Amino acid sequence: MSRLTAMCVSLFMFASLVFASNDTPADPSIRPYQLQSSAAGLTLQFDEINVNWLAVDEGGEMPVLDGAGEIGVAGGPRLPVYSDLVAVPEGMDLVLLNVYAHWRDLGLHELAFDTGQEGETARDEMIFNRVIQESEETVVVGTTGRWRDLRIASVAVRPMKVDPVSGHVLIAEDLEIEFGYEPSTNFDEEFDPPGVSEAMLPLYEEYVINALDFIDYSEVVRGTYLMIYPPNWLIDVEALAEWRTKTGFTVQMASTDVTGNDFMSIYNYIFGVCETAEPALEYVVLVGDMDDYPDIATAFIDPGVPNPYDPDIATDQKYTYSLTGTSYEAVLPRFLIGRMSVDTQSELRALVNKIKQYEMTPFDGNPDRWLRAVTIANTTSSVSTALTQDWVAYKMVNNGFTNVEQLVKTWSFDPGTQAVANAINDNVSWVTYRGFGSHTSWAGPYFYNSDIDNRIFNTDNLPVITSMVCGGGAFDELGEDPCFGEKWIRHGTPSNLMGAVAFIAPSEIDTHTRWNNMILGGWYTAQF
């Protein structure tokens, strides 16, 4: 965790492996198959698949399988799917060779339907029947492309289908799937940086099922750390760069006098470094907000939903991938990025001091905080927020935490604003919130920007805060500057370090429980 130093960092992909849509979290460590690989391909041999049926409020039943997510088509049936990434040799594509299965009859079940991310989609018979027809194709192999150090393809396995004549639900037994490699017709010598990224390695190990077959651990290297900053702030940027160099990074610094201030100028500069740096580029830190000064540009994306509250969502993630590459290159990051979203040099100096104190002198303050955390949930709209936090607390305790306080707001009980402040002031290293939010608050238990000023006095006991709810990371909302996350990392002074050392949250104001649970699960899967 020592290298997490920015407010908004790349969130980990494929969280659907961690949580089954918007319901009960699944154990992401469960892969219900045995893997056999060779130079010619690989085979997945599935263990016995156990099915539990969960009644849902909208009517019908949802099949729950260990380690499985959902197909996730609004209006369609809630059928399970196993999704994984597979590494393939350079210049090759992954192809499906054979599928062997015996199909066991589970009888008649009224399958629940997917209500969509808004929770308002009705059952659509055309979509429902189409998804059932598609489930006849047990295995789907995606296009092969590159994720930085690996050439990969996605694989989706649908272990359940519906008999079109009897209407009975069938589950695959003795399922065995064979894959092979064949020369690619679309291989265009994608950029493959030298070495293996130390930062990406845990992600490869977690999400690419045969990554170990393609990684040479002797080539794992700590990469280049690029800092882009406004020219007047050089002295404080140099202070952090000096510390990063001592921790083993090759540090490059570039002022906006060199990179330019607009998105495409900064993007082109970063990718020039990405394709030439040795060791390869691993982290980018944008130093400053997107205000008139320091004026570090960001990108915007369409939320993709009708009538959004905010038609433009700010994201620095676009800096990390190819805007013209393959489907994978246009999704998966080549490096990790964060933003130290401050408005003044004094705020920057305080944040740099927080980072250095957090990493250089971790026993300042109360050392017990490293084994203490607080989870906060609001269940007034969805009980899954508390279930997700229960899972986070379970992960923490299983990884050595001795005290994880859990605050839960229900319809009949509200712990209150001061309880949140007391828990954070009581020396914790992690704070995680799942409920509702705005650009400047948590909504239940309510906690506003002003409460950070008036109630948080955690000098030298700085947590990392994960806030997977609406809007708290919206550093682009200049009418509400600072946003909630900015307020946390700016709290305190250079000589009195309070608030948080890092804050991770969506910049979108119109997020949804389904995806927020997945993102939080992905984050803590990567941490613990």
Calpha distance 52→46 (Å, rounded): 17
Full-model pTM:
0.89
Contact 347, 291 (CB under 8 A): no
The alpha carbon of 291 is separated from its chain's Cα centroid by a whole number of angstroms, namely 26
Which helix (H) or strand (E) is 466 found in, with range? Answer: strand 464-467
CB atoms within 10 A of CB 466: 23
Q: Which two tokens stand for residue 211?
A: 């990554």
Contact 19, 25 (CB under 8 A): yes
Q: Which two tokens stand for residue 15?
A: 């969280």
Q: Which residues contact 310 (CB under 8 A, 6 or more apart)?
A: 303, 474, 508, 509, 510
Q: For residue 66, which of 171, 147, 138 has the smallest C-alpha distance? A: 171
Q: Print pLDDT tens along the chain (528 aa).
A: 333 333 333 223 333 333 433 444 445 457 889 999 999 999 999 988 999 999 988 899 999 998 898 888 999 999 999 999 999 999 999 999 999 999 999 999 999 999 887 677 889 999 999 999 999 999 999 988 889 999 999 999 999 999 989 999 999 999 999 999 999 987 666 678 899 999 999 989 988 999 999 999 999 999 999 999 999 999 999 999 999 999 999 999 999 999 999 999 999 999 999 999 999 999 999 999 998 899 999 999 888 777 778 888 999 999 998 887 766 667 789 999 999 999 999 999 999 999 999 999 999 999 999 999 999 999 998 898 999 999 999 999 999 999 999 999 999 999 999 999 999 999 999 999 999 999 999 999 999 999 999 999 999 999 999 999 999 999 998 788 999 999 999 999 999 999 999 999 999 998 888 889 989 998 998 888
What is the DSSP code string of 246-260? HTT-EEEEEEHHHH-
Whether a cis peptide bond, with omega within 30° of 0, leads into 294 is: yes
Q: Which domains does the chain have, with CATH numbers?
A: 15-217 (2.60.40.3800), 367-527 (3.40.50.1460)
What is the DSSP code string of 85-121? EEEE-TTEEEEEEEEEEEEEE-----B-B--TTTT-P
Q: Which two tokens stand for residue 224?
A: 């280049």
Calpha distance 73→116 (Å, rounded): 7
Contact 503, 485 (CB under 8 A): yes
What is the DSSP code string of 129-159? HHHHHHTTS-EEE---EEETTEEEEEEEE--
- For 186, 383, 407, 500, the CA distances from 430, given in Å and listed in that order, are 45, 22, 14, 9
Q: Using the 8-state DSSP alphabet, how is residue 15 labeled? A: G
Q: Which residues contact 213 (CB under 8 A, 6 or more apart)?
A: 37, 87
| Bridge partners, residue 151, by sequence | 88, 146
Q: Which amino acid is at 369?
A: R
